[in-house]
Chain A
Amino acid sequence: MATFMDKLLFVFLVIFAIASFFFARELFPSGALVKISLDNKTVYTLPLNEDRSVAVRGTLGENLIEIKNGKARMKDAPCPNKLCIHQGWIERGAIVCLPNKVVVTVGGKEKHLEEYDAVTK
């Protein structure tokens, strides 16, 4: 009843659907988080889909981080060259304010942020 092309089409569509399922997951990681750390210590872990701004006080002064429309940016920083501010809005990756030791990382699910539940020695 089914021709060879039917079967080929069926297999192709199933593979396509499954592949695009994983592709979509990669494209939009559910529950993406914004992690803000100061001097290697995480001070904030915030959901990317919730608009808000936070201030982090480092040795030089205050960094202002803004989260809006699923993107994050460094709104204000006390550092001299303002590289982090010029980077603008990011959906993935990181913004680093090296002088003040503030790092903002965006993306990944919770499990990536805390890779280990516990370590025994």
Chain B
Amino acid sequence: MKNSTNKISPGINEQKNSENFHIALLAAYAIGIHSVEKFIPTPIPWLRFGFANIITLTTLLLYGLKAGMTVTLIRIFVVSLFTGTFLGPAFVLSLGGGVSSTLVMWMTMVLFGRLLSPIGLSLFGALAHNIAQLFLAYLFFVRRLEAIIFISPIIILLGIITGTFNGIVTSLIVRRVSAKG
């Protein structure tokens, strides 16, 4: 992957093409990370690390909302098609969480970008992801408010932990990339 970037990028002079290429590459990374993450065992079945959010946030920071949303949508559609969950409950939750967290991270970046580092943005993203999924789960699958309210604090707390971790990784990546370019 690294080699091909270096080989192809200089050949494409047009900036737009190189940007599209990078976005495609980022989408591929996101798909890879999301797929591999599915195989990592977690102590609680529905606990997910959301490592793919590292790529989403990196894309948002480097290329803006349109690119970030493109990467998120490509990832969710491709992974769900490959794993056979397309249009199933997991797909609905994944899409809702992914789209809302991308939107919220972008809005936070525009509004408070000066005050927050990628860690803060990632925290907002994780929170949006969790709230959207809890809402969708209530709307379509669970329909028991007390169960949702009961589980919310635990999910949000876990989201804070994974969100912080993802934010730290993102800020390391962004710093390295901008130092190079």
Contact = CB atoms under 8 A, between A and B. Distances in A.
B115 interface: yes
A42 B97 CA distance: 49
A27 B149 contact: yes
A1 B168 CA distance: 8
B157 interface: yes
Contact of A5 (B120, B146, B153): B120
Contacts of B160: 10, 13-14, 17
Given A10-B123, A10-B160, A13-B123, A3 B150 contact: no
B153 A21 contact: yes
A20 B149 CA distance: 9
Interface in B147-168: 149-150, 152-154, 156-157, 160, 164, 167-168
A17 B112 CA distance: 22
B123 A20 contact: no
A26 B168 CA distance: 35
Interface string B41-60: 00000000000000000000
Nearest to B161: A14
Chain A interface, >50% SS class: helix
B77 to A, nearest CB: 30
Nearest to A25: B150
A18 interface: yes
Given A1-B168, A14-B160, A18-B157, A9 B123 contact: yes
B120 A6 contact: yes
B177 interface: no
B117 A13 contact: no
B117 A18 contact: no
A6 B119 contact: yes
Interface string A17-33: 11011011101101000
Given A3-B115, A10-B119, A17-B153, 19 more contacts: A1-B171, A2-B117, A2-B119, A3-B117, A5-B116, A6-B117, A6-B123, A6-B167, A9-B116, A10-B123, A10-B164, A13-B123, A21-B157, A24-B150, A24-B152, A27-B146, A28-B146, A28-B149, A30-B150
Closest 4 CB pairs of A and B: A21-B153, A17-B157, A6-B120, A5-B115
Interface of A: 1-3, 5-6, 9-10, 13-14, 16-18, 20-21, 23-25, 27-28, 30
